[in-house]
Amino acid sequence: MNTLQAIILAIIEGITEYLPVSSTGHMIIASSFMRIASDDFTKLFTIVIQLGAILSVVVLYWKRFFQSFDFYFKLLVAFIPAVVLGLLLNDVIDNLLESPVTVAISLILGGFVLLKVDDWFQSNEIDDPQNPTAHTNISYATALKIGFFQCLAMIPGTSRSGASIVGGMTQKINRKTAAEFSFFLAVPTMFGATAKKLYDYYKAGFELSSDQINYLIIGNVIAFVVALLAIKSFIDYLSKKGFKIFGYYRIILGVSLLVIHFFIFRLSV
């Protein structure tokens, strides 16, 4: 990896982290096309720079992060499934991070879900005058269920934000509320994933060179700035238009990747 490649990956991360299109999947695809070696640092980089994008949520929604202890406890409850399954499936996840075909199939399957999800949960967007908070209230049970949906994103190409937003909508939460909770849940999730990945990296006997440290710093800063610009645009679009455009995008991209991989040249990371 060189500086330009690190910048490109960070821009991709910042744009895609909050879209239901899989930021990890897009970075795997980009790494494959740029022929970046599938070494331990590359895997570390694709996880750690997501933290920069996630921190943009803290800046944009900082008042919400200081509203009540109840808010933190709900995030903790939603975070627990990712901790447990992440520890149990760590090696499996690492292997999947090397497979553009897995990304392509996940993109396609998730795309079909997004084409229909607005229709499935259309009633979530209708306000109930008898219970005005019906579609914005997140209970502890709802938070836990959203946490389990988030775990689907351990399969590259699934999309952490997409899985958790859809998970929220299955619990009768409207799109905007589900999306914002997904953003908040990303903070402890990516802090945990980053700490675990750094620990594993050093435990395996690796050390970061000065160039690699610079790549991580550059990647996090760029992902942070780009994500700041992307979040509000996504929330506004999602509230008004829904998921269909992301569904079509995922399907087109996934099919294109399979065609390229099997009929033009082998993608590898």
Q: Where are the domains of the chain?
A: 3-264
CB 161 within 8 A of CB 20: yes
Burial of 227 (0-12, 13-18, 19+ CB in 10 A): buried
Task: Tell me the mean pLDDT in the region 61-72.
Answer: 78
155-208: per-residue pLDDT in tens? 888 888 889 999 999 999 988 888 888 888 988 888 888 888 888 888 888 889
Lowest mean pLDDT among 1-5, 93-97, 240-244: 93-97
Q: Per residue in 14-53, pLDDT tens?
A: 998 888 888 888 888 888 888 887 788 988 898 899 888 8
Question: Residue 132 corresponds to which tokens in the numbers above?
Answer: 């005005």
Rounded to the nearest 10°, the torsion over CA 168, 169, 175, 180 is 0
Which pair of tokens denotes residue 215? 């790549």
For 113-168, how does the pLDDT look when each residue is reduced to its tens digit (9 = 90+)? 999 998 998 888 777 665 655 567 889 999 999 999 999 888 888 888 889 999 99
Using the 8-state DSSP alphabet, how is residue 50 labeled? H
Which one-letter amino acid corresponds to residue 97?
L
96/188 Cα distance (integer angstroms): 23
Residues contacting 143, CB < 8 A, separation 6+: 74, 75, 77, 78, 181
Q: Give the chain's mean pLDDT.
A: 86
Token digits for 207? 């050390």
Are 14 and 222 in contact, with CB atoms under 8 Å apart?
Answer: yes
Residue 70 has pLDDT above 70, yes or no: yes
Q: Give the integer Cα–Cα distance in Å for 148 and 79.
A: 9
